[in-house]
């Protein structure tokens, strides 16, 4: 049961959540004995819904991570010669199993992350969608044929499996990010080692069990996906191993600063999806009803804990008061509470550290001349769960706090006079993931998506910053990392390219007219 903005939040019991976890895990094929067996090395699964612990789950140490790398590498050596469409059949089966167990996986996401039911189900649907995409891709891993300057020669490129792909995922999308990488990697002929967020161990166990079942039913080699719940220190073997040519990591900018140099030092590849300090520009011509809906979902959805969550709105001074009033009215009606309850729109923050970061950011905002217009308070609940009211903060144009990403529902309001000023203000942050503009003026829209417009990897018109589809490549620029996952030609990151010259003549002419007799 959820309440409105006043009153105490009513939550399910932790024991109820334990029971639901066990049921969902068992249905997905996880051996429940691992939850009941005492163990030396374990990670504790916790739920932000009540703030209490659920189960201990086996964790890998550095030796276990090394063993996982070897197992995945052996699987890769077998899998790389399997035809692409046959690889696609495995991912097709995984998509079918995810469809069958959609509610089970979504339940675990809500329990471990606190997502409301519709968002958790949406995350699993995203996994199903990327499986569909990858199945089609398995028949389209094409190279090019180019004209040769030499008679009797053909110039072409071929794409080959890369190796073991290390996937490091974050808590906020505990399953979807893995699937983006896994589905593409598998059809490209690679194997995967998944290091899930320790805050989402049960979700990872369920997803891994479904993949293992799909692999077994498809006749694929074992260990094509090896999941290792491990500490950051024990994961270093994964980051440093030359048998893992690609690391795809989602997390904080600080994490990326640590991973990128280590991977580069061994000439590995990295796909980094790091911070997002996303903004919307709202122009005088904007449809304010549309803008309000788009902003509220992007800013308050998932309790502001998406990498694409909207952190800033840059609004023309002539309409700022009206727009802020509209958003504030919607915020006052948001149902905050139990993510399983019908009608809830805002669930909990992941933990107390996130809440502390939110309060610290709000305090800095006020110190820098900001005014908290709405929200920012913690709602009464159990001691270790953190339900907060999404905040709207009016800020001076020049303020430093708006350049920092706080993983919580804080929306900073800035104003502008000219579109050029708005774009400069928009781009004046280190991060570059997602952006949007609300306008009915085609010139403004085109200017925002042009080369001198938004500097983000995702640039939207008349929608918010959240809610990307799998068909497009996902990722950002600047300190966001620069990598791309999911759709479009992101598959190329999971393969190696070979340029081939084939001489079918009886002569041996050299390129560029070189003579070497």
At residue 312, the pLDDT reads 98
Please, are residues 88 and 132 in contact by the beta-carbon 8 Å criterion? no
- The whole-angstrom separation of Cα 438 and Cα 21 is 41
At residue 219, the pLDDT reads 98
pTM value > 0.85: yes
Residue 273 falls in the annotated catalytic set? yes
In the numeric block, which tokens belong to residue 101? 């167990």
Residue with tokens 């010669």: 81
**278-469 and 14-274+481-497 share a CATH fold:** no
- Of residues 408 and 382, more confidence is placed in 408
Q: Which of 39, 44, 122 is nearest to 384 (CA)?
A: 44
User: Which of these CATH numbers, 2.40.10.340, 3.40.605.10, 3.40.640.10, 3.40.30.10, describes 14-274+481-497?
Assistant: 3.40.605.10
**Structural domain spans, the chain:** 14-274+481-497, 278-469
Q: What share of the chain has pLDDT > 90, as a percent? A: 94
Count other Cβ atoms within 10 Å, centred on residue 511: 11
Give SS3 for 488.
coil
Give SS3 for 192.
strand
Q: Is 330 exposed, middle or buried (0-12, 13-18, 19+ CB in 10 A)?
A: middle
pLDDT in tens, 152-204: 999 999 999 999 999 999 999 999 999 999 999 999 999 999 999 999 999 99
- The whole-angstrom separation of Cα 449 and Cα 456 is 9
Please, are residues 109 and 123 in contact by the beta-carbon 8 Å criterion? yes
pLDDT(360) > 70? yes
In the numeric block, which tokens belong to residue 462? 């008349």
pLDDT(1) > 60? no
pLDDT(447) > 50? yes
Q: What is the mean pLDDT of residues 204-225?
A: 98
Please, are residues 52 and 384 in contact by the beta-carbon 8 Å criterion? yes
pLDDT in tens, 254-307: 999 999 999 999 999 999 999 999 999 999 999 999 999 999 999 999 999 999
State the sign of the Cα–Cα–Cα–Cα dihedral 294, 300, 301, 305.
positive
- The whole-angstrom separation of Cα 181 and Cα 247 is 10
Q: Which CATH class is domain 278-469?
A: alpha beta
Count other Cβ atoms within 10 Å, centred on residue 368: 15
At residue 7, the pLDDT reads 53
Count other Cβ atoms within 10 Å, centred on residue 517: 2
- The whole-angstrom separation of Cα 260 and Cα 280 is 29
State the catalytic residue, choosing from 131, 188, 207, 307: 307
State the catalytic residue, choosing from 112, 126, 273, 389: 273
pLDDT(8) > 90? no
Please, are residues 370 and 396 in contact by the beta-carbon 8 Å criterion? yes
| Residue 14 parent element (H or E) | helix 14-28
């Amino acid at each position: 049961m959820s309440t409105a903005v006043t009153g105490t939040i009513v939550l399910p019991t932790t024991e109820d959540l334990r029971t639901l976890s066990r049921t969902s895990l068992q249905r997905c094929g996880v051996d429940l004995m691992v939850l009941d067996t005492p163990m030396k090395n374990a990670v504790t699964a916790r739920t932000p819904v009540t703030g209490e612990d659920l189960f201990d789950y086996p964790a890998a140490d550095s030796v276990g991570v090394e063993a996982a790398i070897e197992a995945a590498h052996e699987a890769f050596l077998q899998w790389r010669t399997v035809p692409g469409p046959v690889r696609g059949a495995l991912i097709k089966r995984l998509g079918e199993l995810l469809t069958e167990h959609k509610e089970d996986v979504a339940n675990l996401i809500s329990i471990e992350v606190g997502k409301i039911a519709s968002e958790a189900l949406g995350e699993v649907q995203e996994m199903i969608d990327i499986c569909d995409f990858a199945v089609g891709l398995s028949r389209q891993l094409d190279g090019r044929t180019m004209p040769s300057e030499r008679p009797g020669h053909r110039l072409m490129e071929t794409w080959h499996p890369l190796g073991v792909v290390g996937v490091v995922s974050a808590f906020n999308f505990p399953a979807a990010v893995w699937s983006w990488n896994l589905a593409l990697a598998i059809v490209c002929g690679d194997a995967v080692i998944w290091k899930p967020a320790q805050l989402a161990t049960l979700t990872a166990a369920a997803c891994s069990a479904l993949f293992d079942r799909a692999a077994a039913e498809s006749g694929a080699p074992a260990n094509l996906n090896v999941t290792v719940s491990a500490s950051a220190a024990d994961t270093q073997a994964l980051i440093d191993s030359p048998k893992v040519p690609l690391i795809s990591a989602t997390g904080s900018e600080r994490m990326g600063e640590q991973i990128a140099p280590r991977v580069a030092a061994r000439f590995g590849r990295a796909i980094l999806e790091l911070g997002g300090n996303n903004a919307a520009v709202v122009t005088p011509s904007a449809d304010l009803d549309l803008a309000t809906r788009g902003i509220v979902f992007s800013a308050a959805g998932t309790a502001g804990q998406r990498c694409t969550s909207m952190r800033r709105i840059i609004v023309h001074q002539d309409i700022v008061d009206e727009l802020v009033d509209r958003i504030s009215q919607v915020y006052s009606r948001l149902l905050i509470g139990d993510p399983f309850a019908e009608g809830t729109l805002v669930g909990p923050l992941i933990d107390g550290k996130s809440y502390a970061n939110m309060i610290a950011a709000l305090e800095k905002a006020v110190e820098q001349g900001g005014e908290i217009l709405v929200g920012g308070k913690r709602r009464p609940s159990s001691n270790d769960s953190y339900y907060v009211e999404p905040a709207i903060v009016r800020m001076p144009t020049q303020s430093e706090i708006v350049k920092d990403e706080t993983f919580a529902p804080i929306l900073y309001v800035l104003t502008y006079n000219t579109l050029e000023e708005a774009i400069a203000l928009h781009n004046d942050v280190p991060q570059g993931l997602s952006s949007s503009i609300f306008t009915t003026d085609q010139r403004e829209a085109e200017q925002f998506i042009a080369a001198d417009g938004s500097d983000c990897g995702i640039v939207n018109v008349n929608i918010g910053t959240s809610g990307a589809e799998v068909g497009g490549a996902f990722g950002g620029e600047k300190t966001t990392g620069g990598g791309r996952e999911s759709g479009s030609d992101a598959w190329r990151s999971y393969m190696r390219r070979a340029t081939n010259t084939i001489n079918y003549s009886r002569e041996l002419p050299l390129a560029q007219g070189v003579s070497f007799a």
